[in-house]
Chains A and B, each alone.
Chain A
Amino acid sequence: MKKNKKNEVSKFTKLNRRDLIIGASSIGAFSLAPKKLLSEEVNPENLPPNLPEWTQYLGDGVDVNPYGMPSEFEGHVIRRNVEWLTASAESSVNFTPLQDLEGIVTPNGLCFERHHGGVSVINPQDFRLIINGLVDREMIFTLDDLKRFPQTNKFYFLECAANGGMEWRGSQLNGCQFTFGMVHNVQYTGVKLSDLILETGLKEKAKWVLAEGSDSSGMTRSIPIEKILDDCIIAWAMNGEALRPEQGYPARLVVPGWEGNMWVKWIRRLEFGDKPYMTREETSKYTDLLTSGKARMFTWVMDAKSVITSPSPEKPILSKGLHQLRGLAWSGRGKIKRVDVSIDGGKNWKTAQLHSPVLSKSLTRFTLPFEWNGEELLLQSRAIDETNYVQPTIGELQKIRGVNSIYHNNSIATWLVSKNGKVDNVRLG
C-alpha cells in the first residue's frame, strides 16, 4: 500500500502544473493522502536560482471560481468524523480542524457539524418563525421581518457539551481535531431576542422558552427567560455571509457561552411557558451522570478550557530550534484572563501571550515561543477566565464527577512530544 503511494507521488512530480490539477482531482476530492504528500514534496526546479514554473505562464482569470475555495494544497484542512461513534451520518458529528487554523475566526466551511436528522434544505422564502405561549401577541415572522429589526454583530464560540467526551476514562483519540474539535467561533449577525420580545410583549408568568427547530429531529430545548433576555440572538449570518445550511440556514438560535445543543438550528418556533418542557435532549441526553447514579440536569454553561493546537498529534515538530507554540482558550463565563503553558507535564508553568481581540465568550488565541533541542516534552495549557476559574485537571474532574458524565469535560490535555518530534495524546497519573 505504502509503496504504491510513493510511486504515485513520484509520477505526479514529473507532471506540469496543469496536468497536476487534473491529476489531483482525478484521484478524487475524498482521497486526501496524495494531495497532502504533493504539498510536502519539494520540486528543486522551482527554487532559486531557477525560475518557478508558475512565473512563466498566465494563471487563471477572474471568475474561474466565482465562489473562491482554498488552495488545492490545503486539501487536508477539512472536517473529519469518527464513524464508529454513531449509527448514521444524519445523526452524527464531525470535528473542526483546529490544528490547521490561525487567529480566532473559524472559516464557515470548517465549522464542525452536529445534526440529529440531517441538514434541512430551506428556501428562505418559506422560512417562518412563530412566537407563541405566554406573550401578549402570538406572532409570526418572515426572514425579511427579522432583518428589519435593529441588528447585532457578535463573535461567539459554540462548543458541543460532549467535546472531549471520549476522553473521560483515558486518552482515546490521538488528535487535536478529534479531542477538541467540537468547537467553532464565528461572528453572528442577527436580532436580539430582547428586541423581538418588544414586538410580542411578555406575560409576567413567562419563565421559560422552548426553542424548536424545523429539521426532521424537531430539535427542542428549554431556556430560562433570564438568558433569553440577556444575550440570545436569532442569527441569519455568520462571518459576513448567510448561515451555511449545516449551521441552520436560514436562521438559528445563538445562546452565548452555553452548550451547543441549545443553539437550535433551522429555528421555527419559540414558545414561552411557566415551566421547563423537559425535552428528550435535556433529560435523556445532556445530563451528567455521577457515580451515585444521579445525574446533574440543566448544566448549560461551558466552563473555561484551552488546547495547544500546535504542536499536537497532527502537528509534529519537524526541526530543532525556535518554534511558536499555538493554542486556543475560551470560557462560557466571560473573557479569558490568562493562559499558562507547561512543557514538563504541569510541574512548571509559563504565561503565554494572548492575542487581541480578547472577547467575552469567544475563542482567544495564545502563543508562546519555545526552543526544542530534541528532548521529550509533556505539553499542557491551562486557561483562567475573568471569574478566576482555573481549567482543572482530569483528576480533579473525575474526583467529583466520576467517569460516566460524557458531557462537560474541560480538563487539561497532555501532548507527549517524543525525541523524534512525533506528538501523542497521553494521560498522566
Chain B
Amino acid sequence: MYKKGIGKLSAHVLLFLFSLSILGALSGCVPHTELNEKAIILAIGVDYKEEKYKVIFQYYNPTGIGGRTLVDNSQPNVLTSKGEGDNVYAALEDAAFRCGREMMLGVTQFIVIGKEAAEHSVEKVMDFTKSFFQSHPDMLVTVAEEEAEKVLEVKFSEGIVSTQKLKFLLTNAEKSGIVALPNALELFTSLQTVRQSSALPRLRLLDSTQSDASEDGKTLEISGGVLISEGKAVDEVDIEVMSGLRILSCKTETGTVTVDYKDEKISVGLVNIKTTIKPSFENDQLVFTVDLRSGGRFLSPPKGRYENENDELEKLCGDAVIKRMESAVKQTVFKYGADPFLLEKTIRHYDYNLWKKVEKNFGEYLKNAKFKFSSHIEIDKLLLSE
C-alpha cells in the first residue's frame, strides 16, 4: 500500500532540494562570469620566437556597443591582447591574464600562424584546441608570411582588421578557385595521416594607397600557400600550385582558367568540376591516374565566333588546368614526398592491399610516383552564339 504521509514528506524534501538547486543555478550566488569580464576571442595569431610561443588575440569589446548605433564608433569594438608561454595554451592564458578577462573560444573564427611557428610545428600550435572543445572545428587557419602579430594588428577604418574581412578574403579566393577554405577540422584530419601534410593559404601584408587600405596604409592579400609536411611548414608555394592542389583534392566545384587563343585572352569559368584519382602500382612505382571533367562558361566572351573551334578551346583549357595540377604535384609530392591532397585516403579506398604495401615508405613512394593526367572540359555552346 502507498503510505501518503511518508510519500508526501519525501516529495517535499525532493521538491525543496530541487528548488534550492534551481535557485542556486539561476541566482548570482554561484561562481559566474559577466559578459564584460569575458574575452570573447574572434581571432588568434600565434608566433614562435626564441623557443617561446607568442600569442595575440582579438577579442570583442562590449563597451564598443551601446551607443545610438549598434556599434559605437567612438569605441573600438575589437581589442587585442598579447601573451607568451612555453606552449600556445600557456601563452593564451597569459594574454587573458594581461587583459584581465576570461577566455572564451566559442566564436573564434580565425587562426593565423606566424611563419616561424608554422616552421616549428603546426601540430603543436593547433594542440591548444584539444583543451578547448568549445572552439569550432570550422574555424579557418592561415599562415602569415612573416609574423602573425602584424596581421592581426592592422587597423582598418572599421577597427582592427576584422575577422569578417579576413573571412571574406578567403571565401572570395575559394570561389575563384585559388585556395580551398582551410578549416581546422580538415587540418586536424590531415595531421592524423601518415605524411601529416596540408597546404594552408599564406597572408601577405602590403603597403597600399587604395581606399580600402588600413589607417596605416596597409592591406592584406593571399599571396599563395604554405606547404605543411610531417606536421610543419616546409616551403612556400604560389597561387598556381594552390589552385592545382585544390582541384586535386577533389572537393572543388568551380574555378577559372584563362587561355591565349588567336591573340585573345579568353577566360573560362569552370563549373561542376569532378576530379577522380585512381591509384595503381607499376614497376615498383605508384601510378595515379587523374581525370578531370568539367563544364565551362565564357567569362570574357570572345570577339570572334568559335563554334567550330570549340574542341580546340576546350583542349587549351584542359591543358591549362593540367599544367596547374602538374605544377602542384612537382612542388609538393615529388619535392617533399608530401601528401597535401590526401592520396593516402585514395589508395586506402581503392586498393587497401596496395596501401599496406606502400604505407611504411609512403614518402619515398610519393617522391617517385607517376601521375597520368587527362581532362574533359565541355564549354557551354549556347553562350558562344550571342
| Co-complex (A, B) | no
